Chains A and B, each alone.
Chain A
């Protein structure tokens, strides 16, 4: 005679998750099968039979609800939850010292803004500001900086900064680009005192290539260069 899935499982002292792990059927689906919400499919019947070491016909395809489930179904529906008591408002968090410091640093950028004007705007000493008030003041100053000093437009010189300290940076990039375009001759002095002279034909973040008067090209590592001068106009 066939039995309910949950009866066999309990007799075998297995939990739903054990049966799920052993049979490969999801635990949520096993709960539905055991509550009699849907009939067990043939494939799952075979998987349960194998996991529980019984025959497929020992398992009822549609389980009767477990006794606890019967009680649960008989339980009257719950009424609406009582409304939550409103929590007392939290005391405001004082501003962090870093916020005040940053505020004063930003204020230095404007001739008309100083500690006194900020305190007048806030209506209290800066040390008594809350975190939120300090954030608001910072936001206003940052907005003003953004409006008065808009970010530079994309130009051909804009690029990622070189990784190593000796790399070509913003102004040197402009300088070398202009020199290359004008066909200028660079007189380069190296660390060891030796000199290299030539028309600049190219450069990378860490090296400059020059065409020497004899036509030979030489690439000089930036790290080896002490200084250089330009003698322009050699086109």
Chain B
């Protein structure tokens, strides 16, 4: 799960405070929040901002910093490689199951896997993917 997806998740779990409320509470500018949540490239370079957000959402800052390394385009690259090379990909979902299978399609929001072990197909939401291995 990218940092942006995780922050969106935390924000939703806190009742959906908007960027201005978060800016007033933490000092993290709306612009930074928007960038973190919506960009596909690597974001969240400012450790101070991440610490403030971690304090605000009540999670350890490490939960944010390691996700900084899992930016959205990396998952796109992994899905693209898995599909074009016909290799199975293993998707580890947040607080949920792990799926391993062949990528049938993927886009910016989701991917469909043909599962290796149990058969069948599943559509996985990209924002739910915590980690992945090829």
Contact = CB atoms under 8 A, between A and B. Distances in A.
Interface of A: 161-172, 175, 189, 191-193, 222-230
B107 interface: yes
A165 B99 contact: no
Interface stretch (B22-30, B45-53, B58-66, B88-96): B88-96
B132 interface: no
A122 B62 CA distance: 53
Nearest to B110: A172
Given A169-B109, A175-B112, A229 B93 contact: no
B9 interface: yes
B9 A227 contact: no
Contacts of A168: 109-110
A164 B120 CA distance: 29
A229 B119 CA distance: 12
B40 A171 contact: no
| Closest 4 pairs (CB-CB, A-B) | A169-B107, A226-B128, A171-B105, A169-B109
Contacts, number: 87
Contacts of A163: 38
A215 B14 CA distance: 31
A169 B128 contact: no
A87 to B, nearest CB: 46
B8 interface: yes
Interface residues of B, number: 31
A71 to B, nearest CB: 65
A166 B8 CA distance: 10
B78 interface: no
Nearest to A223: B12
Nearest to A164: B38
Nearest to B112: A175
22 contacts: A161-B108, A164-B37, A164-B38, A165-B126, A165-B127, A166-B8, A166-B126, A167-B109, A168-B109, A168-B110, A169-B107, A169-B108, A169-B110, A171-B106, A175-B123, A223-B127, A225-B125, A227-B96, A227-B122, A229-B120, A229-B122, A230-B121
A172 B5 contact: no
A223 B126 CA distance: 10
Contact of A165 (B40, B93, B122, B123): B40
